[in-house]
Structure 1
């Protein structure tokens, strides 16, 4: 058995990420779950790109601030204490708008961990059309 008590603020930031990202998965050596804490200043986005996953289910719990999530159909406003869920094959881009008055802190989780994000072009075709 293994247990961990971690303070995300003590973890290193993830390189090449557009916001402050602290990987709990890496620190705890999780095999199946992608788990990280994100802090976004105004104008920053959570993912490296507008994307979708073929198999991964993702959830973003907003711990502080207000998260905005762009999808092909709509734009969602997710308040502190709420959760945004993206099912597989569902393109999304989570961000903190330029005009936001405060940072946003989000706990992001997804499984399976190994299902890497596929870029999505919001001006192009539906990513599921080719399958």
Structure 2
């Protein structure tokens, strides 16, 4: 048995104000578990994306999350849960005025091939992106795989990077 206090787990450089990876501190080996706090305009993910082998479940504890999906947008309110199958594209946002608090579960633990679609100003369309961490690991940068243009930047504890 392992127990952790969520606020004692290090905050990650993500497009969410708070993203705490709980998988490793809890010693989980078969699925991923992450805690999120989304300020207005924040997102759960760096891009509209899909995972080859992982399905994801989001439980919204507080607030309302809006998910962009292949079938349009879906709102998930306090106390509701949404599931995305393998290879199903999605990206969740806080489009409201209140903080969204949520838990995300992903199984199996590995993603397989992940496709991350972001708008590239150079290519003038959504393109697949690669993510890179800086040497300090406090900043994550997204680059278009087609032309190399930077499409987003997120710093731990910063509101920078809210570019869709």
TM-score by shorter chain over 0.5:
yes
Structure 2 counterpart of 1:43, from 41, 44, 52: 41
Does the CA-based 8 Å contact 1:23-1:37 persist in structure 2?
A: yes
Query: In 2, Cα distance between the equivalents of 1:52 and 1:120?
Result: 9
TM-score, normalised to structure 2, is 0.68
1:104 has 2:120 as partner: no
Q: Confirm whether residue 82 of structure 1 aligns to residue 84 of structure 2.
A: no
| Partner residue in 2 for 1:120 | 117
Pair 1:27-2:30 in alignment: no
Question: 1 or 2, which has the higher strand percentage?
Answer: 2
Count of paired positions = 120
1:63–1:106 CA contact under 8 A, matched in 2: yes
The normalised TM-score by structure 1 is: 0.84
Per-residue CA deviation, residues 12-50 of structure 1 (Å, 9 max, x unaligned), is 101x31111011102123222110100000000011211
State the alpha-carbon separation in 2 of the partners of residues 9 and 95 from structure 1: 22
Unaligned runs of 5+ in 2: 120-124, 128-164
In structure 2, how many angstroms separate the alpha carbons of the residues matched to 1:40 and 1:71?
A: 19
Counterpart CA distance in 1 for 2:94 and 2:117 is 19
Gaps of at least 5 residues in structure 1 are 126-131
CA distance in 2, matches of 1:90, 1:120: 13
RMSD value, Cα: 1.8
Alpha carbons 1:51, 1:91 under 8 Å: kept: yes
Match in the other structure for 2:89: 91
Question: Using CA pairs below 8 Å that are at least 6 residues apart, which structure has the higher relative contact order?
Answer: 1
Judge conservation of contact 1:91–1:120 (CA < 8 Å) in 2: no
